[in-house]
Amino acid sequence: MSTAVEQRYEEDFATMPIVAILRGLVPKEAIAVGTVLVNAGIRILEVPLNSPEPFESIGLLAKAFGGHATVGAGTVLRAEDVARVHDVGGQVIISPNCNVEVIRHTRAAGMISLPGCLTPTEAFAALDAGAHAVKLFPGELVTPSVAKAMAAVLPKGTRLLVVGGVSSGTIKDWNGSVVHGFGIGSSLFKPGMTADEVGKNAEALVGAVREWAGSSQR
């Protein structure tokens, strides 16, 4: 049976299969940026832990949007950081690598696990540890044919997300592919952008993803 956190994540992913990567976000910007993203339809928000005061930003976002968005941390490299994210209200743990201890701690805390993988070996290890999806990272090294080959051997229904090098102009490259969604960073948010600029980027990306979803047969 799915938990409430898993149900929230599934609903948010179904609404818009984009993970917003807010690297460099500072706490004073968190609510304004979160508002424009949620209003644009993006409901999965990630603050990487190499951002300034990330736990404060995650806590602010979780408090403001936790009832209608999935909020959490990215670039989570250590198992001990999982508890810190959980303590401030985070619901999702995202990593650039496949660290089975991070995955196991995430699942034990009742959170969503989205680890980074680049090979079938890493993907199987992640899934065996309890990952909810496989983040294909860095996306610049992954092609639709590579993703198709990996999907052919992974358990049926494995969710694949492309993360890295994704923009409103490159999403069409994945038309008809086996991937299920995208993690998007610098083409959505960069430090110094205003909330209005982030909102405009979000609208363009949401439009591109909707076109991609309409063309894809997964």
With bands split at pLDDT 50, 70 and 90, how would you rate the model's confidence at 64? very high
Q: Which CATH number is 94's domain given?
A: 3.20.20.70
Active site residue 135: yes
Q: Which of 46, 101, 122, 203 is catalytic?
A: 46
* Residue in 135, 200, 203, 211 annotated catalytic: 135
Grade residue 216 by pLDDT with cuts at 50, 70 and 90. low
218 pLDDT tier (thresholds 50, 70, 90): very low
The pLDDT, as a whole number, for residue 118 is: 98
How far, in Å, CA of 76 to CA of 49, rounded? 6
Domain that holds residue 161: 4-215
Tell me how many domains the chain contains.
1
Quickly state the pLDDT bin for 137 (edges 50, 70, 90): very high
Q: Please name the residue that has the structure tokens 């999965």.
A: 44
pLDDT, tens digit, 9 for 90 and up, residues 37-58: 999 999 999 999 999 999 999 9
Q: What is the pLDDT of residues 147-191, one digit of tens each?
A: 999 999 999 999 999 999 999 999 999 999 999 999 999 999 999
Residue 217 confidence (pLDDT) above 80: no
**Mean pLDDT across 132-155:** 98
Residues 6 or more apart whose Cβ sits within 8 Å of residue 191: 23, 24, 25, 26
Distance CA 83, CA 106 (A): 8
φ, ψ for residue 194 (rounded to 5)?
A: -80, 165
More confident residue, 125 or 1: 125
